[in-house]
Structure 1
Amino acid sequence: MFPWSDPRRKNVPPASQVLVKPKHQTGTYQEDIVVGDKIEWTKDVERERRKELRQRSLKAKHECEKDDRGRLRRHMGKVYDHLKWVTEHALIYCPIFKAGSTTWMKNLLTLAGEANFNASLHAKVTSLYPTPNGRQRIENLLQKSLKFMIVRHPFERLLSAYRDKMLRVLKTEDPYRQTQLTILKDYGHIGTNTSAPGALSNGGASRENSHPSFLQFLYKVRDDMKFFWKVMDGAVVDPHWTPYWYSCAPCQIQYDIIAKMETLDIDQEFIIHAANLQDTLVNARTHASKFDGYSDSETAANDYFRGVPLGLLKELEQLYWPDFRLFGYDADKYFKMTQGGT
């Protein structure tokens, strides 16, 4: 039995019987897509999902037990500050950027009765759900709360981060515009990945020499991650490509639910029911606006990864090895897409 399914646990009344709709939608995100209406939630469906989610948790635990050198252990103060402590609903969420985090930032704002969703979603949620005071309080909440995180294939996440952060047209003062320019300066000698038309177009406007190519971006990520493994807790890696295990410490916090973007519709439905929030939250997805010419993620992946050297992708797999092993992902499909793949 999961700790949060204990019948002695109090049923927390929903914050509201009506979903709070945003008053403002930024250009960064498309309109939310409601997916819950397509799911027939039955006891059998719930039972099967519970079984799958338990297997994921056990897989992560098993891989953690192999870490006899403690390479995957964190200083927990930083992890606790990263978590969202929704104490009123006995819920703890570990956000991972580019893995459903915007959807759940909106969900947490809804639980707080907030209706104005704007570009500072993450900062607002952090202020509303801070780290509790005192180690004993933290330990009690970790024991009694529903703890969940959402992951996705590490290479799909990198591609999503590139399409969102590197192809978007931004003002000069925006930090990600500065990141784009820095990558162009530091990795400009590396060829552009022109096999992916999305890397060059934005409504017909040329991006050449204006935005980094996917290949340049991946070399930047590789170098960031090499530095990360050298200094660990002293490293500063952009949150959109920080490793999952480093953000959420699954070897020290046993998450009740490890949801995946690949099955997010049904996983999210399970989270909402398990947290007794089905009268408050709508199972919906927030998608980033399109900054390239692709509407199909599979086609995009094939085109973008086709221009990546196999050796570089193998380096990245090794640098993200805990995320692959802990969460059951395989890189072979992407190796076959690359230059040199078979």
Structure 2
Amino acid sequence: MRLVFMFACIVLFGTAGLVIFIHLQDPVEIIPQQTPGVKYNAQRHRNDCPPGGSQAGRVTGHKSGALAKVPPLGSRGPGARSREQPLDSLALLVGEQAKPGPEGGRGQPRQRRRRLLIKKTPIVIALNSSAVTLAQLRPQEAGAAEGRWQRLYRVQRERKKTMRDTCAKYKSGGRRAVTPYHVSRIFVEDKYRVLYCEVPKAGCSNWKRVLMVLGGLASATRDIQHNTVHYGNTLKRLDAFDRQGISHRLSTYTKMLFVREPFERLVSAFRDKFEHPNSYYHPVFGKAILARYRENATREALRTGSGVRFSEFSQYLLDVHRPVGMDIHWDHVNRLCSPCLIDYDFVGKFESMEEDANFFLRLVGAPRNLTFPSFKDRHSDEERTTTSIARRYFAQLSPLQRQRTYDFYYMDYLMFNYSKPFDDLY
């Protein structure tokens, strides 16, 4: 009888331990496992359009609408941010309410436990379909000919319809929810009620400049330096708000997204990160790519990570067991901005940037003297990546590599109605 009782106790305690272990698993940490070979921690260190500056003094919204400063979450490089951070910030806010006991007595362990529980609890925000309707401005209000103005409205309707039809056809129609992870790349401008999801290599540097001018942080886009744009910690991101703040802004702010032809965006990223000196991409990505994909790589190449060829970069991109993780500069728009979860009100394209961007600025009531800047953020003496330049790089690949790269970006091609870049693609 005693043996039976002891066995029952062992089974009971084992089951309880398993339940506790499963409960404490962080759902955000599980997400990257859905795609083999993708490691997100490496991608958020340094880039053209990093998630923001240092964590010191990051602004987080309370339900009451008041703003509070969140203490630093540890020493990281400029622009670095871990995927767990949105959950950590909420944990810190709740932790502030748990007052420690005298002289750091019993109250402190309770505060730590509350932080842990908040961090490990999934934050799910029910999807709010956008309640925003683009302003119907008359041509004279916009300073444009009526035919051109109506064409721009029609283009927006067609782009949004294509995006929604693609999502309906290829994405599951089950219960949809938005988490802080899905909005971690969306910047907030409260004065003009704008949300902008950044897509690196699709004009994001200049869009950040525009948002800073709209928010009164600068008088002109030309005055804002590169480091201020990317490491100044001046722009708020949507995942810094609580659930109510995120849901409210998703449903009432004008949400915009600007995309670029995938092959051109990929070549632009390669030229910027691997054909110019770079203190992050060469030692982190370059070394790993050369070690894995170049036969008889020289000791100097392995030491510096410089000189990566486009064919080697393509091998890395298509390898499901990448030696280093995916990076936002060549990740899918579908995964960066979640257009099948978030109901974007305006879809612009890099190829028609000036017209689309200035149309958007008129729609949100921006000052008439504010137009989208056309200057190149870095390597200004170098020609922008064009269709012909992208084709020249892809000519270095075999037909099979081109096909596999097209397959990699297939949803972006469909969702944003881009034509096949090569005739031999199927």
- TM-score, normalization by structure 2: 0.58
d(CA) in 1 for partners of 2:154 and 2:399? 36
What secondary structure sits across from 1:149 in the alignment? strand
Cα deviation digits, residues 37-93 of structure 1 (max 9, x gap): xx973343222101101110111001111135469x786311222110112211000
For the pair 1:64 / 2:170, whether they are aligned, the reply is no
d(CA) in 2 for partners of 1:190 and 1:49? 54
Q: Structure 2 matches for 1:92-111, cutoff 5 A? A: 92-111=195-214
d(CA) in 1 for partners of 2:309 and 2:250? 42
What residue number does 1:185 align with? Answer: 291
What residue number does 1:255 align with? Answer: 344
d(CA) in 1 for partners of 2:401 and 2:416? 22
Partners of 2:205 and 2:229 within 8 A in 1: yes
Q: Which runs of 5+ in 2 are unaligned?
A: 1-129, 137-141, 298-304
d(CA) in 2 for partners of 1:185 and 1:262? 36
Q: CA deviation at 1:186?
A: 1.9
What residue number does 1:153 align with? Answer: 261
Cα deviation digits, residues 285-339 of structure 1 (max 9, x gap): 24254599756724422321211111011111212221111111232x3355xxx
Q: CA deviation at 1:279?
A: 2.8
Q: Structure 1: which amino acid aligns with 2:392?
A: D
Correspondence for 1:269 among 355, 358, 374: 358
For the pair 1:124 / 2:232, whether they are aligned, the reply is yes
CA 1:155/1:216 → structure 2, altered by over 3 Å: closer, same or farther?
Answer: same
Q: Structure 1: which amino acid aligns with 2:314?
A: L
Q: Structure 2 matches for 1:214-293, cutoff 5 A? A: 214-223=310-319, 226=320, 236-279=325-368, 281-290=370-379
Higher alpha-carbon Rg? 2
Instruction: State the percentage of identical aligned residues.
Output: 23
What residue number does 1:133 align with? Answer: 241
d(CA) in 2 for partners of 1:127 and 1:296? 28
CA 1:6/1:264 → structure 2, altered by over 3 Å: closer, same or farther?
Answer: closer
What secondary structure sits across from 1:241 in the alignment? coil
CA 1:303/1:212 → structure 2, altered by over 3 Å: closer, same or farther?
Answer: same
Q: Structure 2 matches for 1:8-47, cutoff 5 A? A: 41-47=144-150
d(CA) in 2 for partners of 1:116 and 1:74? 36
CA 1:102/1:119 → structure 2, altered by over 3 Å: closer, same or farther?
Answer: same
What secondary structure sits across from 1:322 in the alignment? helix
For the pair 1:323 / 2:401, whether they are aligned, the reply is no
Q: CA deviation at 1:262?
A: 1.3
What residue number does 2:422 align with? Answer: 334
Q: Which runs of 5+ in 1 are unaligned?
A: 8-38, 192-208, 229-234
What residue number does 2:29 align with? Answer: none
d(CA) in 2 for partners of 1:96 and 1:190? 36
Partners of 2:181 and 2:239 within 8 A in 1: no
What secondary structure sits across from 1:189 in the alignment? coil
CA 1:85/1:289 → structure 2, altered by over 3 Å: closer, same or farther?
Answer: closer
What secondary structure sits across from 1:150 in the alignment? strand
What residue number does 2:280 align with? Answer: 175
d(CA) in 2 for partners of 1:168 and 1:108? 28
Q: CA deviation at 1:242?
A: 1.1
What residue number does 1:144 align with? Answer: 252
d(CA) in 2 for partners of 1:43 and 1:3? 23
Q: Structure 2: which amino acid aligns with 1:334?
A: F
For the pair 1:55 / 2:143, whether they are aligned, the reply is no
CA 1:294/1:48 → structure 2, altered by over 3 Å: closer, same or farther?
Answer: closer
CA 1:236/1:181 → structure 2, altered by over 3 Å: closer, same or farther?
Answer: closer
Partners of 1:84 and 1:130 within 8 A in 2: yes
What residue number does 1:3 align with? Answer: 132
Partners of 2:178 and 2:341 within 8 A in 1: no
How many positions carry a matched residue from both structures?
Answer: 278
Partners of 1:151 and 1:244 within 8 A in 2: yes
d(CA) in 2 for partners of 1:190 and 1:306? 24
RCO comparison, higher one (Cα < 8 Å, 6+): 1
What secondary structure sits across from 1:263 in the alignment? helix
Q: CA deviation at 1:111?
A: 2.5
For the pair 1:87 / 2:190, whether they are aligned, the reply is yes
Q: Structure 1: which amino acid aligns with 2:282?
A: R
For the pair 1:301 / 2:390, whether they are aligned, the reply is yes
State the Cα RMSD in Å: 3.3
Q: Structure 2: which amino acid aligns with 1:187?
A: Y
Q: Structure 1: which amino acid aligns with 2:132?
A: P
